[in-house]
Amino acid sequence: MAVYQERATLISNETVADGLLIARVHSPQIASQCQPAQFVHVRCGDGIDPLLLRPFSMLTVDREAGTLDILYQVVGRGTELLKNRRVGDEILQLGPLGKTFAVPPNPGNLLLVGGGIGAAPLVFLAETVIPKGYSVTLLSGARTAARHLPAEHVPSAVEYVLATDDGTAGYHGPVTDLIADYFLWSDAVYICGPWPMLTAIDAAYQARVWGWNSKKPIQVSLENQMGCAMGVCLGCVVTTPRGFQRVCRDGPVFALRDLHTEIVSRPKLTGSPDR
């Protein structure tokens, strides 16, 4: 598939929740091609600071208008600069990059599990499959109510179930606790979130706490830090049963079972599902 380098025009850049913004850009070539879990590599600042582009998933795409939305959390230099970009600014981006999710050929029940900004590619997935007759539940975890993606940005046909660490919205506890209630109902599971969330999911999966169906596809979209995003620098590799795989080219979507070694070999990670 073609990768485009586009000078996208920023149409809006608005705060939608505590520390979460949505940037809408006019980027017709990338918008015409991109699929859920693929990403764009974005020059966040005006010049070469920071030198490296930053990867972001698409939250939603309007192919007719030629626009795409990026949901982002301000965590460092690049996202702080992106937050300060103004409507009408040109933003250089490369995309679409990476691979999309595999969806069962016949409409069925899809369980989506997101931590914080991990909701972004899952909302795009929901938007893509709902018109084809799939049923979608999105379990979304965050530290507190104010850090959730507001429901108005989630398609109304999605069952949107919240969990918060502090109990200010939805279930009081980790979003991973909710998976057991939906696992048997689902025909396929899609996950995107930070490593502590993936660690909890992998542990539950290995212990078969949700029941067991070895044929059920469980896919994870990873959000590693990246360098080139073009498969060259090897700055994003993860260990899988097929050897080292590049998240930018071979992913970002992987089968959960293929990530077990990578997940358990990472330093013990704890923390909130929204980072």
**Which residues here bind ligand FAD, judged by CB under 6 A?**
39, 50, 54-57, 70-73, 75-79, 117, 120, 223-226, 252
By a kind-dependent CB cut-off of 5 to 8 A, residue 231 interacts, out of ligand FES, ligand FAD, none, with: ligand FES
Number of neighbouring beta carbons within 10 Å of residue 49: 11
Of the listed pieces 117-125, 184-192, 207-215, 234-242, which binds ligand FES according to CB under 6 A? Answer: 234-242
Number of neighbouring beta carbons within 10 Å of residue 7: 12
Sign of CA dihedral 204, 210, 216, 222: negative
By a kind-dependent CB cut-off of 5 to 8 A, residue 56 interacts, out of ligand FES, ligand FAD, none, with: ligand FAD
Shortest distance, CB of residue 23 to ligand FES, whole angstroms? 22
208-227 mask for ligand FES (x: CB under 6 A)? ------------------xx
By a kind-dependent CB cut-off of 5 to 8 A, residue 57 interacts, out of ligand FES, ligand FAD, none, with: ligand FAD
Among 24, 153, 246, 275, binds ligand FES (CB under 6 A): 246
- 11 has which bridge partners? none
Nearer to ligand FAD by C-beta: 63 or 266? Answer: 266
Shortest distance, CB of residue 250 to ligand FES, whole angstroms? 9
Of 147, 91, 132, 121, nearest in space to 275 by CA = 147
* Alpha carbons 58 and 192: distance in angstroms, whole number: 13
Nearer to ligand FAD by C-beta: 9 or 224? Answer: 224
CB-side neighbour CA atoms (13 Å) of 98: 31
Give residues with Cβ within 8 angstroms of 272, minimum separation 6. Answer: 116, 142, 143, 165, 194, 196
Nearer to ligand FES by C-beta: 85 or 249? Answer: 249
Shortest distance, CB of residue 38 to ligand FAD, whole angstroms? 8
By a kind-dependent CB cut-off of 5 to 8 A, residue 233 interacts, out of ligand FAD, ligand FES, none, with: ligand FES
Which phi and psi angles does 69 have, rounded to 5°?
Answer: -110, 140
Nearer to ligand FAD by C-beta: 192 or 218? Answer: 192
**Residue 235 contacts ligand FES per CB under 6 A:** yes
Number of neighbouring beta carbons within 10 Å of residue 114: 27
244 burial via Cβ count (<10 Å: 0-12, 13-18, 19+): exposed
Among 28, 217, 231, 271, binds ligand FES (CB under 6 A): 231
**Residue 234 contacts ligand FES per CB under 6 A:** yes
Residue at 15: amino acid letter: T
Number of neighbouring beta carbons within 10 Å of residue 77: 13
Nearer to ligand FES by C-beta: 147 or 246? Answer: 246
Find the length of the chain. 275
* Alpha carbons 29 and 237: distance in angstroms, whole number: 28
Inter-residue contact 153 to 160 (CB < 8 Å): no
Q: Which positions touch ligand FES (CB under 6 A)?
A: 226-229, 231-236, 246, 248
